[in-house]
Amino acid sequence: MQKIYSIDMEIAGICVRFSGITEECRNIMEKRYGAFLSGEPDYEFTLNWTEKDNPALSWDVTMETREDCWLFYRRDFCAEWCPSTGKGCAVVDASEYTLDTMLRVWFSTILLENIGGLIHSAGFARNDKGYLFIGKSGSGKSTLSGARGDSDLLSDELVAVKKVADGYLVYGTPFMGELGIGGKNIGVPLDRFFMVDHEPPSGRFPINQAEAASELWGTMMCFDRRSHRLKSIMDFCTEMATALPCERFSFDLTQNLWDWMEQ
């Protein structure tokens, strides 16, 4: 009989216990998410790690709400989550990429419930301050992350941000992009953010708050399209764009990133 395990995983102060996992799944999680496997669980998720491929479904993630539960699914996984009980279950194709996608979707949704979100960005921590370089796929986040110099990598793909009483905290995540390295499991105050643009000319350029909020909106990971959720994300984006300095950033990697930033 196959032995079953449980693992606790914490990102941005949100800890979930994954139970019902196989040894293969546990090994993958330990390898991929090792720095984030700790904490006191607030939530519980039962994983059924199996063969899962429903060709009738697309590869795009769909999210629906049914009574007080969320359903989110695509061709290779389906999951149900009930915020009121803090419990959920998922059937996941036995692939680390499928598991990673399911975790991204779940954490992005639960973060939205906690006045935060996963933002498509490269994030770095330096001298106890956080810096976000926000951009969609292909904008150069991983390239920039490779040139991060003497700073800690929070992620080259998806960084967690939460609003707190006196500002914003930015957290490392294990969600990795082309760099192939997970972030450090730390949280620091977010000092400022940049909209990454790798088109010349290189430099830092002013951006107005409406543009910043608009671009932030386009990079927040969100599958919940209910109107109250859209309003809360809009509040998050507009408040963050108003509260923190933001510039457009077109980079020149012939210089040290931080020297250049301080110019």
Which residue from 113, 210, 243, 256 is in contact with other proteins, where contact means CB under 8 A? 210
List, in order, residues 6 or more apart from 17 with CB less than 8 Å away: 6, 7, 8, 41, 43, 44, 45
Pair of tokens at residue 249: 């950033």
Which residue from 242, 252, 255, 256 is in contact with other proteins, where contact means CB under 8 A? 242
Give the separation between CA 23 and CA 174, rounded to whole angstroms: 20
**Binding segment (CB under 8 A) for other proteins, from list 43-51, 64-72, 99-107, 236-244:** 236-244
Told to check if 209 binds other proteins by CB under 8 A, we report yes
Told to check if 213 binds other proteins by CB under 8 A, we report yes
Nearest to 124 by CA among 160, 103, 94, 155: 155
Give the separation between CA 191 and CA 203, rounded to whole angstroms: 19
The 3-state DSSP class for residue 258 equals: helix
Nearest to 202 by CA among 117, 134, 261, 126: 261
Told to check if 164 binds other proteins by CB under 8 A, we report no
Told to check if 238 binds other proteins by CB under 8 A, we report yes
Work out how close the CB of 221 gets to other proteins at its nearest, in angstroms, rounded to a whole number.
Answer: 12
Which residue from 54, 214, 248, 261 is in contact with other proteins, where contact means CB under 8 A? 214
- For other proteins, what does the binding mask look like between residues 216 and 235, x meaning CB under 8 A? -xx---x--x-x--xx--xx
Catalogue the E-assigned strands of 12-42: 14-21
Interacting residues toward other proteins by CB under 8 A: 208-211, 213-214, 217-218, 222, 225, 227, 230-231, 234-235, 238, 241-242
